[in-house]
Each structure stands twice: as C-alpha cells, then as structure tokens.
Structure 1
Amino acid sequence: MTLVDDALLEVLGSSAVTAARAATEVPDPLAPARPAGSTHAERALLARSVLRRAELSARRAPGATGEEKLLPVPEELSGLLPFGGLQRGTAVVVDGSTSLLLALLSEASRTGAWTAMVGFPRLGVLAAAEAGIDLGRVALVPSPGPDAAAAVAALLDGIDVVVVGPQAALTDADRRRLTSRARERGNLLVAAQPWAGAHVVLTVRAGTWSGMDQGAGYLRRRRLTVERSGRAGAARSIERQVELPLRAHAVKNPRQVEKTPPGLRLVG
C-alpha cells in the first residue's frame, strides 16, 4: 500500500498500478498462483518510481555539497541540533513524539525537500499538513512488510529525507547498511525507532498539555522536555523545552485543509 500524488501515477504506468492493486485484493482460490517474488518486485518498482519523480522535480543529482548540506528547521527547534539544522548524510532519531518529528521536518519540506515515510500505517495526513509538511512532496509507504530494508535503501538513492517508522522491520545489520547509504548519497535518514550509531538522538522525556481554563477545556498546546544526545557535535547532552504546535506553522482553519486535498491518491 503506497500513497502517491497524481503526477506520479504517470510515471508508475498502468501495469504497476494494476500490480499494486492486485497485491491488496482477496485472492481467488481458482485463479492461477502469482509468480514468486512478485511482491518484492512491485514494491521495488514503486520505490524507484517515487525516486525518479523526485529527481525529475528537483532537477539535480542526489546529495548536496556546501551550504545545501544543512536542511533548515524551524527556528524554535534549531537549538536542539549541533549545527542548527539537519545535516545531510547523517541519521537522526526522534523518540517519543510524532508531532516533534513532523515539526522538525516542516521547514525542509516547505522549502522544497522531498520526504518519504516508511512504516507509519497510522500517520495522520491532516496532522502532517498542520505541522507544515508540504504534502505534494511526500511519499508514504505505510506497510513495507519484509521488504522494508530494500524500500528504504531505494528511497535513499534520491529522496532528500527518508523517515523510518516503528512498523519498518529492520535488523541491526540493515540499520548499519542504511546509515552508510545515507552518508554516501548525502541524504537524511530519520528514525522513529531505536537506531544504533545515530548522529543525533532527540528523546522526549516529559510533556504537559495546556489549553482553555488551564487545560480543563480544549487541549491546544503541548510543552515537551527534549533531551539531545548522539555523536560528534551532539556528544554533549543538552535539554530543551519545546512547545508544539509551532506558532509559525499553526493552521488557523483546519477545515480548509480537509476541503483542499493535495491531490494524493491511494494505490492498492
């Protein structure tokens, strides 16, 4: 099951769409068996197609040098990162808050970075939009199954930011290989699961809610205590207070997002 935009369907072609839909249909006991390995081939085709679409849109080779090595983050979160931004070619862990993860990626997405999210079957598209994510530049692979490592590796070949969710089944060896691939390709790997050797680890230690009538009414904002650890520039542990949602990306009228979908279509 993969969520893609309308323009990407032209790249996938009718055969790939048919194959993806067939993968989710109830099997007919009288129908001939499908060839072995077809599921892997279909997912690999979808991943490569997403990659090709992103490269054509960006009109540049994967990776970056110079000033482009840092992907921007909202000013309120820059103090959590050793260089004030998300460094390409590294692995970053965000543990304990999907809202913090989306907020961290919002500025890079808003300024044109492509994002792929693998293994987030319950990710809310409206929540992503409210956080400031540009849904027109997002590819979702909610349930990669046993091919998670292959899907992430293929996406790292050209997608600016690849996010690995809790439902992406990976071994420690897979994580090491994917970290090396992100470094070689110059793209960012973000994990919402334990990731040995991550360059930056952001861990939410505590959180409190606030809202109308000291929180007794609607809960509108959440203050998080975030601890940063990691390697190299992030080796010195620090702790910061972060309030979400970020005011710069707050959606004044959430219904407007619902009425103007970004042209995404569910395949499968």
Structure 2
Amino acid sequence: MTSKVEAVLDALKVTGTGALIGYLPVGFPTLAESIEAAVTLVENGVDILELGVPYSDPVMDGLVIQEATQTALAGGFRLSDAFTAVKEITARVSAPVLLMTYYNPVLQYGVDNFARDLAAAGGAGLITPDLIPDEAHEWIAAAEKYDLDRVFLAAPSSTDERLAQAVKQCRGFVYAVSTMGITGARTDVDAAAHSLVTRLRSVGATHIGVGVGISTADQVTEVLSYAEGAIVGSVLVKALADGGVPAVGRCAAELSPK
C-alpha cells in the first residue's frame, strides 16, 4: 500500500522544497465554486489539498473558517457533496486530496461506507482533528482496507507517549499543531511548532505537516526549513470570501515556495 501524500512529500524533499498544503471548505461559497477554487489552488502552487467537511460544531476552527462552513451548511451542503467534490477535483488535477472532518459525520455515515466512498472518489485519506489514535481502531481498519491515509494531530501539550502513538498510526503525515488554540492567521508561527517537530522526529516521524496560524510566504518558508509540509487555511478562505476564485489563486501563488 502506497501513500499518494507521502510520495508527493518525498518527491519535493528531493528537490529541496517542501509541500504547500492548502485548506478550503467544501461547499463554500457554493459547491461548484469550492471545486473551482480547489483546482485553482493546485494550478497556483498548492501541492496537497485539504478539503474541510462543513460541520455544525467546529470546535477547532477560527472565525473565518466557521463563517465559511456555516455558509456552506446554510446553502444545503450534504455529506455526499464532499465525495462529489473529491471526484471532480481529482479528475482535473493530480494533487492528492485529503478530507478534513470531525469524526461524528464519519460515524453517522458508517466508517466503512465513508472510507469506501472516499476511495472510490479518488481521495487520499482523512485528517481527523478530534479523533485520537487509541480510539480510532475502526477508522484505522477501514483506512487499511481501502488504502487511505490517516492523519492524526499532535499538539505541543501532547506527552511523548502520545506523540509516539500518533506517529505510529499516521500515514501520509503527522499534523503538528503549531500553537495551542483555534485556527486563524497569526503574525508569528509559535516557537512551539519547531519544538514539537523536533519531538516528533525523536519518536520516529518522517513526514510532518505544520498547521494553525500560517498565513504568509515567509512563514511557509520558515516552516518548510524544518518540516515536510506547511498547512495554510484561513488566509485562503478569506481570499475566497473576499475576492472569489481569482483571489484565492493569487493568494496561493504568493504563498508557494516554488
């Protein structure tokens, strides 16, 4: 079983650059526009796509992303739309597509069914911010069955034992949360991010993406000096909200290290 995400990260490491991982919510401002926006990200330098599944209780998301997901839900977003988006995007671009979703929608849909439909749509795997590895047996089994990546989060507050567990169970990359708190643009990426990556390396991590608070090209470059991927979300969502698909393309191009 091979990971599309790890293949991209490894290839970029050989070239001396890292991966720009771009986040947008599915269905914002409409389903069709969210698909166009995701394709535009890849056309403007994003290497891996992270598509957020709108959820009514987004505990980790900052205001920009919360407002976007509420717009998507108000516009009639259905979980099946996520698979539609993945299928249409992967038909047009080769970048791996990960869904970022809270775990409750997966449970409601059926874990095996969700994994099956995501794989059938061409998706690479899931990022599950509220699911810890020792409670993820059913999802891990389904991911292995359908050859999907499973990305768990690691926080600065995590114990070394927890970090080791996350590294062992992740496939694709470990999502290193750069700061304690919710998502959103910040002027500085916390020093805690570099420290966390060092700790993850010490317990065997070979593919790490750093997210939460990254919003400038300089921050992307800084993160990619010590991690394989830099995850950018809120600034892209804001660009899409303020200026539509053209603006999100320009924003991606400005952030891209290549």
TM-score range, shorter chain: 0.3 to 0.5
Give the TM-score of the pair, scaled to structure 1. 0.34
Larger radius of gyration: 1
Between structures 1 and 2, the one with greater strand share: 1
